């Protein structure tokens, strides 16, 4: 296996071979390194705890392992379900690849957990964030983040070639290598053009650092910038994802078809998009009057 940190040392050569093959499969399938870093340590931890060869692990072994881990570590159900997903993916791949006859994780059901939706920004907070943006660069980034509902990693990866000012569209490079097109308003276009006129960076990336040496922005630098704006604006826990949540929530609650919002947001499941719907009285009244 390529990275030493993923090496399985306590088991027979065949177990090590299976883990190496799984690592290779994840790479060939185009999984991001962050995904691999999430999956493989979970597999190693499971094998360390269960202390059985992979082919002998049963459904009961996995259930007991997860239950004991939660009891000892007091982890939330969301964390435990993330562990379950990694284990299920591993055994599903083993079954699909004919290394085992049947996945023992197949009967491990999803662990229920309450999902607390991220609170969207209200109009006054959005306005304060723009007012407290101290430069054209910051205004361009904040306005663009909100308009496009882009993930922060997607914003960091945008190049000049991805922008089409004639249509006010941008090509976003999303999760799993999936590209999609999003849109931005004339207001964002104005800020972007003004920013591009004054910036001194000569690279192809759309956004760069504000000081020399000019380098492309990163996910971390964008998050730090937004936190700083939040402090200036008096908005607690402001981070880039809240602009995405706010835009998607507003589009859904203003009647944009869920399928269209799903496409714009890059959600793989429409249920994710549906979770942004706020079923308030005004929405109910509007839908009722529209239906009669």
> Could you read off the pLDDT of 89-108 as tens digits, one per residue?
999 999 999 999 999 999 99
244 is known as an active-site residue: yes
pLDDT at 9: 47
Q: Where are the domains of the chain?
A: 4-96, 123-291
10 given a catalytic annotation: no
Contacts 24+ apart (CB under 8 A), 284-292: 286/255
The residues, ordered by sequence, that sit 6+ positions from 187 with a Cβ below 8 Å of its Cβ are 143, 147
- Catalytic, 27? Answer no
Which one of 107, 113, 175, 285 is the catalytic residue? 175
Residue 175 among the catalytic residues? yes
Give phi and psi for 203, each to the nearest 5.
-80, 175
Out of 137, 151, 199, 242, which one is annotated catalytic?
A: 151
51: left (phi over 0), alpha (psi -120 to 50) or beta: left
pTM over 0.75: no
Report pLDDT for 6: 47
Query: Residues in the chain with pLDDT < 70?
Result: 1-11, 114-117, 278-287, 290
Question: Does the active-site annotation cover 276?
Answer: yes
CATH 1.10.10.10, domain 123-291, yes or no: no
**193 catalytic per annotation:** no
């Amino acid at each position: 296996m390529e990275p030493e940190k993923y090496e399985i040392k306590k088991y027979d050569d065949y177990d090590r071979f299976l883990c190496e093959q799984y690592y290779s499969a994840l790479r060939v399938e185009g999984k991001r390194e962050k995904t691999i870093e999430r999956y493989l340590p979970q597999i190693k931890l499971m094998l360390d705890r269960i202390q059985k060869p992979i082919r002998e692990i049963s459904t009961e072994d996995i259930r007991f392992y997860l239950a004991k881990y939660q009891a000892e570590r007091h982890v939330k159900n969301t964390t435990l379900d993330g562990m379950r997903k990694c284990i299920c993916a591993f055994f599903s791949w083993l079954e699909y690849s004919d290394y085992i006859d049947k996945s023992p994780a197949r009967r491990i059901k999803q662990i229920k957990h309450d999902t607390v939706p991220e609170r969207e920004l209200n109009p006054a907070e959005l306005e304060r964030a723009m007012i407290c943006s101290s430069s054209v660069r910051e205004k361009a980034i904040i306005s663009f983040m909100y308009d496009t509902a882009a993930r922060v990693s997607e914003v960091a990866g945008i190049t000049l070639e991805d922008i089409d000012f004639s249509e006010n569209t941008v090509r976003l490079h999303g999760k799993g290598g999936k590209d999609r097109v999003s849109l931005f308003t004339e207001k964002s276009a104005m800020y972007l053009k003004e920013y591009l006129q004054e910036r001194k960076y000569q690279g192809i990336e759309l956004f760069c650092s504000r000081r020399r040496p000019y380098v492309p922005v990163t996910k971390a630098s964008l998050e730090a910038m937004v936190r700083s704006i939040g402090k200036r604006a008096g908005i607690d826990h402001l981070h880039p994802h809240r602009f995405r949540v706010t835009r998607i929530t507003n589009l859904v609650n203003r009647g944009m078809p869920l399928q269209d919002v799903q496409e714009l947001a890059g959600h793989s499941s429409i249920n994710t998009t549906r979770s942004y719907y706020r079923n308030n009285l005004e929405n109910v009244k509007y839908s009722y009057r529209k239906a009669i």
